[in-house]
Structure formats: C-alpha cells, structure tokens
Amino acid sequence: MGKRSRQRQKNQNAGRDNRDTAGWGAGYADIIKENKLFENYYKELGLVPEGEFEQFMEAMREPLPATIRITGYKSHAKEILHCLKEKYFKDIQELEIDGQKIEAPQPLSWYPDEQAWHTNMSRKIIRKSPLLEKFHQFLVSETESGNISRQEAVSMIPPLLLKIEPHHKILDMCAAPGSKTAQLIEMLHADMDVPFPEGFVIANDVDNKRCYLLVHQAKRLNSPCIMVVNHDASCIPTLEINSNGKKDVLFYDRILCDVPCSGDGTMRKNIDVWKKWTTSNRMQSLQLRIAVRGVEQLAVGGRMVYSTCSLNPIEDEAVIAALLEKSEGALELADCSADLPGLKWMPGVTSWKLMTKEGQWYTDWSEVPSSRHTQIRPTMFPQKDSEKLASFHLERCMRILPHHQNTGGFFVAVLVKKAPMPWNKRYPKVLHLKHSHTMPPFYTPHLPPEGSTEKVERNSQEGKVDKEADETPEGASVGQDAGAKPEGMCGPPPSKKMRLFGYKEDPFVFLSDDDPVFTTIQSFYDLSPDFPKLNVLTRTHEGKKRNLYMVSKELRNVLLNNSERMKVINTGVKVWSRNSEGEEFGCAFRLAQEGIYTLQPYIRSRIIRVSVEDIKVLLTQENPYLSKLEDEAHAQAQKIGTVKYRYALQLNPGEPQCPIQLCGWRGKTSIRAFVPRNERFHYLRMLGVEVFRDKQGLGQKRSDGEKDGKEEAEDAAEKDEEQEEERAADKEVDLENGNENGSSESKTDCGDKETSS
C-alpha cells in the first residue's frame, strides 16, 4: 500500500486489492484474531451451515494458502505447466521448513486444464527459506514475463463465469490492481493464431495512481485489445462507436462489476480487518450505483458478474435484490450451478437483518428511526413480497465460505440482461446535439430514489469516490431544453465539463495512410498487404516518433470517437522502437519484443530460422559473434540488419513443443537479441537451462546436461546490464507524462513500470 493514506484505503480501493494478491502480500505484526461483533453478527444471521461455525472461524484465523495461475492463452502455457510439475513441484514436496511440512501443490479442481494451483506455503516461507529460493525466483521471473499470475483462488471465479468469447466487448468497472483483467485478456486471445480478436477489454479504475498498477499487469500480456481508463465507475461515461458510417452507442457484451466492499472475506490475509470490522453498511449505496451503471451499459443478452469479497448480505443479496426490483424484469439471475464443477459454494440467502455498530437489530425499514434514515436505507432490507422475492431466485447467487475449500470468503452473482432497463425505455439513449454546445450526447440515467429523496454521502469514508463523483456522468447532456421535461419525469441534469485528475497523458495519434515513417517500415519488413497499418499509433503530435504501438480495429474505433469523453491512461502494444543505427540499413525502427507475436503473421522478410542451440547462444551471450551461430542461421544473418528469430515447432523429445519468436539486431560482426531479462530466463528454462542465482551471488547454475559451450548461462544475468539500460530508456519514453513531446511532469513510483505499451 506504500504511501496511500488511510482515507484512500477506505475509498474504491478497499476490498478489491486485498484478494488479488492473496497469500503473497506483506506480513503483519501479531494481531489478535478476535472480533466479537463479527462473530455475533454472523452467528445471528445463520449464513454458515449448522454445526460448522467453529470450523468457519478457525479457517478465518488460518493464513491463506498461496495460489498461482498459469497464463492460459499463451502457446507456452503447456511448457510452463510441464516445468512446474516435473521440476519445481517435485523439488519442494515433502520438505519441512520451520516445523511445517510442505505439501505437494495441488491443482484447483474447478479451474480448467490444471491452469491454477494452490499450496499450503505462505509468501513469507517462500521468500525466506533458502530451500525454496529456486522456486521463488521462478515465480518472480515468470510473473514479470506474464506467464504466471499470483492470485487468490476465489478472485479467479468471476472471469470464468462471464463465459468470454474472442468477439466480446468487455468492461471491467473496478479493475485495479488487474489480476482479473489479465484473465479477461487471456480469454479474448484463446486462439493465438488470431493476433487481433474482434473483442476488447476496457479496464477502468477511479484511482489515477492505481491505474498505472493496472497498466503494469495488463502489459505483461502484450495485447493490442486492452485499454485502461480512469473514471468513477458509478458514472463512467457512455461511449459511442462508428457503425456502418453512423454513430452508435457502445454496449458491452460482458461486464465485470467487482465492487469495493468491506472486505470481511479477506481476514485470512488482510489481518487488519479483524480489529477494524464493524457493521457500518454505508458501502451499499456506492455498490448499488456502480451496479446500476453497469447494467445500463450492458447489451441486451449480455452477462454481468457482480462480486464482492464480503459475506455480508447487505453488500451482496441486498444489492442484487434492489437491482432486480428496479429492473422490472429486464434482468435475471443466471443459474451457474453447473458452470464450475468441483467448486463448493452455498446458495444465496433470501432473509437477513441489519445490525448497527451498537449491536441493535432491525428486521424491516419501518423499524428504523428517522434519525438513522441517512445511514440505513430501504434497499438494505429483504423483499417482503414473497411472490416477488421468489421471482428473484436469489438462491442462484454463490457464496464461497473459507472452510469449505481453504479459500477466502467471496460472493458472486451472474446477471443476464433480457431487455433494456425501464428507465432507458422512457428516455432516448442518443439526444440531438443541435441545442447542446457541450460534448456529446448521451443521457445517463440514475437509479430512481427509493421512497423519499436519498441523500448521497459524497464525502463519507465509504463513498469511495474522489471529486469526480460530484460531476454529472460524462456524456450526460441536456440535448433538449431542460424546461421542456414533462411534469413528474426525472430528466437528465445539465452537462458539466469532464474534470480530469491525476497526471497529464500523452495523446494517442494514429499514423496517416501516407505517413513517411510507415512507408519505410512497410518496405523494410515486407509487410503483407493485409497488415492493418491504420491501427498503428504513436504518443506524440510533434517531433520524432520514438515508439510505435498497435491496437485492434475495434479499439481504434473507440479511441477516435471518444477522445473528449474519456480519460485514457494506456492502450496498445509496442511493436517498433526507434533505433538510430537502423537508418543506414534503410529503416530507423527496430522490432520490439513486446509486439513480436502481434506482428509475426505480417512480416515476410528479415526472418532467421534458428535452432535450439542458436537460441541458447542468443539468450546467454550479450553480443555473440555471428560465427557462433550454426551454419544455416549464420548464412541467413549475413545480409540482415534488424531481425526476427523464429524457432519452428519441432516434435523432438526434450525440445520446446511450441514456436518461439525473438527480435534482435545484427551488427558488423556480432548479433544480439532484444529480449527482456525475465523473458530470457523463461525461454532458457524451456530449453532446459537452469537459470538461478543463489543468495550468495554465485551466479546462475546450469543443468547437468547442458553443454560446455553454453556455460555463459551461469552469468547471463550479470551480463544483462546493457539490456537493462535499454529497457530503462524505453520506460522513460513510455511513461504517460509527456516524455515524447518534452513534458517535464514527473510520475509517482507506481508509474515507473513501463506504463505505455
């Protein structure tokens, strides 16, 4: 959490950050894991099956097991899984550390294809134990290169229930720090042979600084189909796209609504919750506003997952029930009982009551004194109409209890949109612009008040919004004279200019069809005629273009039609970087490793086909002589400047069973690969080279079967200084603070991690 204030913790960051890095977070000083108010509250509600409450509480006091997820969409996923099972898991099973026996890691039974694993080890053990140092280095390195995500088990559930297809347009409303966003990206790229899926992910977060953490997570996956934006989720702007020459509203096929919450399901790792937990229920107002905004932007037939890491029904079923009631049949809870076989869960509850911090209970809104009406709202109580309550099917909600499968506590519900929301039917979605001198054009309705006018607690600790929350949702426009509203109808408020917070971002400038920069690139790399050159962009209007990025055609459409409507933090994947030495070869831009798999279907020249031994030379030596390559690769490299090394799939035992693409540069007598350090380590592990530096700094160890000629693997990390300097220079260019056009604004620490892809 670093320098974030306590107030910021209680804002939209609360609850979500806690579970996304489960089991791997920083340790706590000894805190007494007792909270009588918590125990009394959940005992009284009866949410835990009879006879299991003590087991439930014991599980809450135990440390959360560490879990990892293998990035499922990359072609290397099977190689990583093989490496884990055959080497690292075998090395650590049956170990005993500080009196604790280390159990063999086990796959999560409900996660597809053995892509997620858990163990009884804590992060502290993994970091501190010399016996686990190799495993720890493996996890850190593979996480940085995007092949593994360290994520709590229950946090993996919502993306699975969305049932993502590659053509889906997806909105992640409260996305930071981004582990679930990474899952969504993986699902879009299920077919690695398609570099530009038709779908995309727009990942949003209200906290400007946390958006850069989100960028760092997304960048590991090198996708051209992700955009990070910075808005208050409860009034995120409605976007428009160009469809067959006409402006149309962008509705999303899938929405992840993982709202901020009290986080009492995270007590196993966020131990601070034990002493801070109370029954303050003011979070619900924000949760409901975010959920309402989500279903407004959901396409008819689309799915929205609502989730929290709280077990409190006021933050869970009460929100869903209020949403279903307001929808007047437009929404329906989906039955997901068969979607994740092996996952143990409890059905949602249909009755609950509310307790104040003083221990006073209320079972109905009519019992609440008027003095408490600003803190306790009617939507916090269960529906009294038994017929209407039965129609909600709240039992289809899913409650995950910690003691059932040794996880955190979690709640998830899947909503399907059957028809437009009733308030969207009453007002036009797109209003005429001729009477409006402000920006565009969409009416963004809010939930009608329940009973009397609701006082919104803008500045409360649980409000979780900054000053943006006081603004009208961007895109909400009068469109017509405000005085013309029919009597008794709640029309949209006047539009206000969008107020931006945080750091100034560089522009996103798409290259023109005849841009001279691209002309030389196209001829130099002999790009195929179907290369989507209009999707190439840079981050500066003036001066030399230092990096070129690519987005999908669909994200280009979104960017071009909404530049004044949304604050974009980052989008695209870097595909070319300026290299002054390249001008003598006829092109000033070299390939970037981040975008090599995006570009590879279109590049038809400057390709060297290499063997396994060639790859070992390129990755273990900084600037090897050309003569060190095998004859075939040596002959191909003689006439090429910037190059793409391609290792084709070979069905030989002991060799990687997936293709490998690397980018590099040939000098006069030597050659090098422009591959980041952790990615080098990844490929070397696939080739059977042990990449390990012990704590005494003895360098890397090579595997017993490695040839003498490859001993350079032992000190590849130490020789990587020049590579790191280049990456550092790229980071400076990539920061979204105006570096490309000379801006002197600086970033905070969380923006230092290659924040422009």
The CB-based long-range contact list for 430-434 (8 Å cut-off, 24+ gap) reads 430/240, 430/247, 430/249, 431/477, 431/478, 431/479, 431/480, 432/479, 432/480, 433/477, 433/479
Mean pLDDT confidence for 99-113: 86
Going by C-alpha positions, the residue among 39, 258, 12 that lies closest to residue 154 is 258
The residue ranges of DSSP E strands in 17-156, in sequence order, are: 66-70, 96-97, 100-101, 106-107, 116-119, 148-150
- pLDDT at position 519 is 87
Query: Which neighbouring-strand residues pair with 411?
Result: 308, 399
- pLDDT at position 744 is 32
The answer to whether 505 touches 755, Cβ cutoff 8 Å, is no
Lowest mean pLDDT segment, chosen from 91-105, 429-443, 624-638 = 429-443
The 3-state DSSP class for residue 554 equals: helix
Q: Is the pLDDT assigned to residue 715 strictly greater than 60?
A: no
Q: Higher pLDDT residue, 80 or 419?
A: 419
Per-residue DSSP letter, 527: B
Mean pLDDT confidence for 315-334: 96
pLDDT category at 643 given cuts 50, 70, 90 is low
The answer to whether 333 touches 389, Cβ cutoff 8 Å, is no
Per-residue DSSP letter, 474: T
What type of residue is 468?
A: E
Considering Cα of 557, then 560, then 564, then 567, what sign does the dihedral take? positive
Per-residue DSSP letter, 625: B
Q: What's the alpha-carbon Rg for the chain, to the nearest Å?
A: 27
- pLDDT at position 318 is 97
User: According to the annotation, is 734 in a ligand binding site?
Assistant: no
- pLDDT at position 30 is 65
218-249 pLDDT, tens digit each: 988 999 999 999 999 999 999 999 998 899 99
- pLDDT at position 652 is 54
Q: Which two tokens stand for residue 649?
A: 């799939």
Q: What is the largest CA-CA distance in the chain?
A: 87
Q: Which two tokens stand for residue 625?
A: 């002589």
The residue ranges of DSSP E strands in 11-127, in sequence order, are: 66-70, 96-97, 100-101, 106-107, 116-119
- Using N-to-C axis directions, what is the helix angle for 133-144 and 677-686, rounded to 10°? 120
User: According to the annotation, is 205 in a ligand binding site?
Assistant: yes
Mean pLDDT confidence for 87-104: 78
Q: Is the pLDDT assigned to residue 719 strictly greater than 50?
A: no
Average pLDDT across the chain, whole number? 78
Q: Is the pLDDT assigned to residue 379 strictly greater than 80?
A: yes
Q: Higher pLDDT residue, 503 or 48?
A: 48
pLDDT category at 606 given cuts 50, 70, 90 is confident
- pLDDT at position 236 is 95
User: Which segment, 80-89, 225-234, 616-625, is predicted with the most confidence on average?
Assistant: 225-234
Going by C-alpha positions, the residue among 715, 720, 716, 680 that lies closest to residue 698 is 715
User: Which segment, 105-119, 132-146, 154-168, is predicted with the most confidence on average?
Assistant: 154-168
User: According to the annotation, is 23 in a ligand binding site?
Assistant: no
Q: What is the CATH number of domain 156-484?
A: 3.40.50.150
**How far is 450 from 442, CA to CA, in rounded Å?**
24
User: According to the annotation, is 175 in a ligand binding site?
Assistant: yes
258-292 pLDDT, tens digit each: 999 999 999 998 999 998 998 878 889 999 999 99
Q: Higher pLDDT residue, 225 or 437?
A: 225
Write the CB contacts of 145 (distance below 8 Å, at least 6 apart in sequence).
220, 676, 678, 679, 681, 682
Residue linked to tokens 């929301």: 421
What secondary structure, in 3-state letters, does 145-170 show? Answer: CCCEEECCCHHHHHHHHHCCCCCCEE
Residue linked to tokens 């600037």: 623
- pLDDT at position 88 is 84
Lowest mean pLDDT segment, chosen from 188-202, 478-492, 557-571 = 478-492
**How far is 162 from 170, CA to CA, in rounded Å?**
10
- pLDDT at position 90 is 81
Q: Is the pLDDT assigned to residue 494 strictly greater than 60?
A: no
**How far is 463 from 288, CA to CA, in rounded Å?**
12
Considering Cα of 261, then 262, then 268, then 272, what sign does the dihedral take? positive
pLDDT category at 22 given cuts 50, 70, 90 is very low
**How far is 654 from 450, CA to CA, in rounded Å?**
66
**How far is 26 from 22, CA to CA, in rounded Å?**
10
- pLDDT at position 232 is 96
- pLDDT at position 425 is 65
> Residues 83, 225, 235, 309: which is the catalytic one?
309
User: According to the annotation, is 179 in a ligand binding site?
Assistant: yes
User: According to the annotation, is 180 in a ligand binding site?
Assistant: yes
Q: To the nearest whole percent, how much of the chain has pLDDT over 90?
A: 44
Q: Does the pTM of the predicted model rise above 0.75?
A: yes
User: According to the annotation, is 176 in a ligand binding site?
Assistant: yes
Q: Higher pLDDT residue, 432 or 373?
A: 373
Q: Residue ranges per domain, the chain? A: 156-484, 503-600+717-757, 606-694+705-713
The 3-state DSSP class for residue 440 equals: coil
User: According to the annotation, is 178 in a ligand binding site?
Assistant: yes
Q: Higher pLDDT residue, 498 or 692?
A: 692
Q: Is the pLDDT assigned to residue 588 strictly greater than 80?
A: yes
In terms of phi and psi (left: phi > 0; alpha: psi -120 to 50; beta: otherwise), the region of 268 is alpha
Q: Is the pLDDT assigned to residue 752 strictly greater than 50?
A: no
463-488 pLDDT, tens digit each: 333 333 333 333 333 333 333 433 33
Mean pLDDT confidence for 84-92: 83
Residue 587 bears catalytic tag: no
